């Protein structure tokens, strides 16, 4: 089986932001033709499906990019030079006040790989304690606890539109972590 690739010939950064960079590249396709790619570069992120038996811990927050309040698992971007596991422990504490003694990797997720380079590491953990939330100063969210069947019903009803939540829940079910 042949691996499909594209070769970057040239490019430029058209926007450099606090969280993302946008690049416009010229690439050579495997058939020799050239085309352009517009890509959003991102440092990466983590998302945590936390289990506080018998309920799962989610957060509800307004997402400006989609103009709606979403129900999703706790998540956040990696800080510079931060490892995903450390970021997962930090984000869970910041967003929910909860903490786990151990987090199990569920897998990796790309939300929109056609344009977005954000790599999200997904984790699962059992809450072992709880403190108070301490979200970033521009973050306003509320903690919501749902039984796995309640989350499954919301997914089936189309009430959960967040990809990382859908992926983490499916992976945790597949691995038998919610039985």
Residue whose entry in the numeric block shows the structure tokens 């698992």 = 73
In this structure, what DSSP letter does residue 97 have?
Answer: S
- Which position among 6, 72, 79, 137 bears the catalytic label? 137
Give yes or no for a contact between 132 and 47, defined as CB atoms under 8 angstroms apart: no
Provide φ and ψ at 67, rounded to 5°: 65, 35
Cβ within 8 Å of residue 65, ≥6 positions away: none
SS3 170: helix
**Whether 137 is catalytic:** yes
Provide φ and ψ at 62, rounded to 5°: -75, 130
Tokens at 46, concatenated: 């983590």
SS3 88: helix
Active site residues: 137
């Amino acid at each position: 089986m042949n691996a499909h690739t594209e070769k970057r010939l040239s490019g430029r950064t058209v926007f450099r932001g606090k969280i993302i960079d946008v690049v416009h590249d010229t690439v050579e396709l495997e058939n020799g033709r050239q085309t352009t790619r517009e890509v959003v570069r991102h440092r990466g992120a983590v998302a945590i499906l936390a289990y506080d038996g018998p309920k799962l811990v989610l957060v509800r927050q307004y997402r400006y990019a989609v103009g709606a309040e979403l129900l999703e698992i706790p998540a956040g971007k990696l800080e510079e030079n931060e490892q995903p596991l450390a970021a997962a422990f930090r984000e869970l504490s910041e967003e929910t006040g909860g903490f786990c003694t151990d987090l199990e990797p569920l897998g990796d997720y790309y939300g929109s790989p056609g344009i977005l380079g954000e790599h999200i590491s997904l984790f699962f953990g059992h809450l072992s304690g709880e403190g108070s939330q301490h979200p970033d100063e521009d973050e306003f969210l509320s903690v919501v606890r749902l039984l796995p069947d309640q989350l499954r019903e919301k997914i089936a009803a189309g009430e959960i539109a967040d990809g990382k939540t859908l992926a983490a829940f499916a992976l945790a079910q597949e691995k038998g972590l919610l039985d």
